[in-house]
Amino acid sequence: MMKLSPQIQSFVLHFGEMGSRWGISRTVGQIYALLFVSARPLCAEEMAAALGISRSNVSMSLRELQAWNLVLLKHLPDDRRDFFTTPDDVWQILRTLAEERKKREVDPTLAVLTDILSRPPGDADERFAQARMTQMHGLIGQLSGWYDDVKGLDNARLTGLLALGAKVTRLLDAAEKILPRRRARPADVVGESQS
């Protein structure tokens, strides 16, 4: 069934499991993992053999990976078959993943919230519910804005940003002392309990 080295097999199986925790199927996760660690592009037949799954399953899974932009189609000279790889810059992979997940999860949620909040609340319960949704909308909006701001950074700057981490706040604190800024709009901070 699987003629993979134990190490690669562990990796592939783990990604299969993880796939289930995300929205993707076990097979899609396994195929991605396999391509990721493979030294050369693979054709569908090879993947089916390596993972012990049907040819048609590979076909469907690859289609899904392509929809996620996680996989690259290559053509070898004098070979009609389709070969596949993953992009090799892991930072780029991260960007793609973030972008796709935002598109599928964050944006629709923001849209639903915006729509609901545009309608006037009926009774007190609805007014409360809208207040809560406003908080959530504010939070997601801020995260989304931060992401848009940061997604264009190149690898070096991204690494730098991460390395800086919480140290940034020293600057913020310093700035606060010098020019005390007005607080964030109430709607965005309602329910704040820590601080």
Residues 90-149 that bind a copy of itself (CB under 8 A): 90-92, 94, 104-105, 108-109, 112-113, 115-116, 119, 121-126, 128-130, 132-133, 135-136, 138-139, 142-143, 145-146, 149
Element spanning 159, H or E: helix 155-164
Residue 11 interacting with a copy of itself (CB under 8 A): yes
Could you say whether residue 56 binds DNA (CB under 7 A)? yes
| The residue type at 63 | R
* Sign of the CA dihedral running 143, 89, 153, 112: negative
Q: Which is nearer to a copy of itself, 52 or 108 (CB)?
A: 108
Contacted entry of DNA, a copy of itself, none for residue 53, CB cut-off 5 to 8 Å set by kind: DNA
Member of 77, 79, 154, 178 binding a copy of itself (CB under 8 A): 154
Q: Name the minimum Å distance from CB 68 to DNA.
A: 14
Complex with a copy of itself: residue 79 or 195, whichever CB lies closer: 195
Element (H, E) at 23: none
Map residue 85 onto helix, strand or coil.
strand
Report the amino acid identity of residue 145. G
| Cβ atoms of residues 191 and 137 within 8 Å | no
Contacts with 130 (C-beta within 8 Å, 6 or more apart), sequence order: 116, 117, 121
Under rule CB under 7 A, residue 20 binds DNA: yes
